[in-house]
Amino acid sequence: MEPVVVDITQENAQQLLIEESKIRPVVVDFWAEWCSHCKTLTPLLERLAQEYNGQFLLAKIDADEQQMIASQLGVRSLPTVMIFKDGQPVDGFAGAQPESEIRQLLEKYLPEPWREDVNQAQMLMSEGQFTPALEPLRSALAAAPESSEVLLLLTQCYLELNRLDEAEKCLESIKMVDQDDVYKTLLARLELQRESAKSPEVEALEQQLATNPEDANLKLQLAVQYNQSGMHGDALELLIGILRKDLNFQDGEAKRLFLDMLATLGKSDPIAIKYQRKYYTLLY
């Protein structure tokens, strides 16, 4: 487990103030035994460090013992607090401050809460667990709907699971300015998987349906093929079209396949939610 509170000396200052601050914010507390306000502020910072559980590192510097460091950083009074990020001091304050203001200051530099979901998902993905990774990624996307990082990770999961419609929807949601090399790689992979999914059976059924667009049997057969090829949105659209005209088509076979697909996609899947609503409108 990463430390949450450390003491800074000449020996570890470079590593903790510069290198560590490239990984997470480092809150530097300059204090001294004779400083009365320090006796209130330092315990408060220590409590916050424990509460935030490693989201930032509290680095304490005894200004009397480490006068060179204090002088190099321009400390003129105690207590002084500095926030280091990416190797540089970016903010801070001098003197006693209320807890509410300190929390407000910290929140500006702490990682967003949804990043924990992203970290969890990446760990699962590294172990090949792509289905379990979907839940934390969807949670992250709900909190940060425009995050290209989250959308790209979701795309990767969907491609691994051969859920091509969901992968395409994620890629379509990424802003042009964020369409980097990773985006282009995943887009090319999606197109390749779509081409692979176009079996001779699928192409033959599509041609037949184009000639006979009202043939429910053809729609059902093509929906089965689409589902097997990861084209879940296309499959559900065909099935809902059948169910609008006959809820019990082929002794309920179309409804069974439709509901099985929704269950497989999961309750939080955007495509599943869309077609669940359409299905409810048929029932009520």
Q: Which residues are catalytic?
A: 35, 38
Distance CA 83, CA 25 (A): 7
The full DSSP string for 46-108 is: HHHHHHTTTSSEEEEEETTTTHHHHHHTT--SSSEEEEEETTEEEEEEES---HHHHHHHHHT
Residue partners of 143: CB distance under 8 A and separation at least 6? 112, 113, 114, 117
| 15 Cα distance to chain centroid | 29
φ/ψ of 230, rounded to 5, equals: 85, 10
Q: CA torsion, points 226, 229, 230, 235, in degrees to nearest 10?
A: 0
Enter the tokens of residue 189. Answer: 């992979």
Residue partners of 231: CB distance under 8 A and separation at least 6? 164, 165, 194, 197
85 DSSP β-pair partners: 88
